[in-house]
Structure 1
Amino acid sequence: MEKLDKEEQRLLDLLPKGMERPRPLKELIKLTGWSSRRVRGTINRLIVLHHQPIGARYEHPNNGYFIITNDEERSAALAPLTSQIMVMTKRAQVIGNAKLNN
């Protein structure tokens, strides 16, 4: 696992511990001055490359990113990811099996 660079550390420091008050993407954009793509990319690197336990809540008004601190939060963060994987797998299967007009 590589050491965090300054940008990664800065973003990690902005994330709250626990899912009670997650930090919304819009707020992270405002605090960093970065684009949404850059914030999401940095969060992805923190998770995938640096193994940081970062979760997200998607329901309004309490949506945003947070650092996972327990198994309940881990389950809450995994549920929408698992659902998205299932939807995308089904979509890929349908596209892969579609009859083409040629």
Structure 2
Amino acid sequence: MKQLDKEEQQLLELLPKGIERPRPLKELVKLTGWNSRKVRGIINRLIIVHHQPIGARYEHPNNGYFIITNDQERRQALAPLTSQITMMSRRAEIISTAELNKKSPLNATHRPK
């Protein structure tokens, strides 16, 4: 495994252990001074490149990122990801099999004459 760079180490240290008090993206942005895209990119690198067990909780108001510490937290972190994968697969399947040259009700009303 590759060694963490300074930014990766900094962000990893800001993540709480366990799902009880996840750290919201907004707070990570404020603490680091980076934009949300950079924070999400580094979190992605920590997971993909460095195999860090980082989960996200999406339920408001207790949403944010955390370090997974047990199997229950792992299951909770995986649930929204697997749901998203399922929905994206459905969309891809429908798009790949949709008829293309058929007039749709949307196109018919906005077509120039």
TM-score bracket, normalised by the shorter chain, equals: over 0.9
Task: Indicate whether 1:23 and 2:23 are aligned.
Answer: yes
Aligned length: 102
Aligned to 1:4: 4
Give the structure 2 partner of residue 40 of structure 1. 40
Partner in structure 1 of residue 67 of structure 2: 67
Unaligned ranges ≥5, structure 2: 103-113
Q: Percent identity among equivalent residues?
A: 76
Which has the bigger relative contact order, CA under 8 A and spacing at least 6? Answer: 1
Structure 1 or 2, whichever has the larger Rg, is: 2
After the TM superposition, which parts of structure 1 deviate over 6 Å for at least 4 consecutive aligned residues? none
Q: Compute the displacement of 1:87 (Å).
A: 0.2
| Structure 1: runs of 5 or more not aligned | none
Distance in 1 of aligned mates of 2:95 and 2:30: 38
Give the TM-score taking structure 1 as reference length. Answer: 0.98
Deviation at 1:101?
1.8
* CA distance in 2 between partners of 1:37 and 1:46 (Å): 14
Structure 1 counterpart of 2:100, which letter?
L
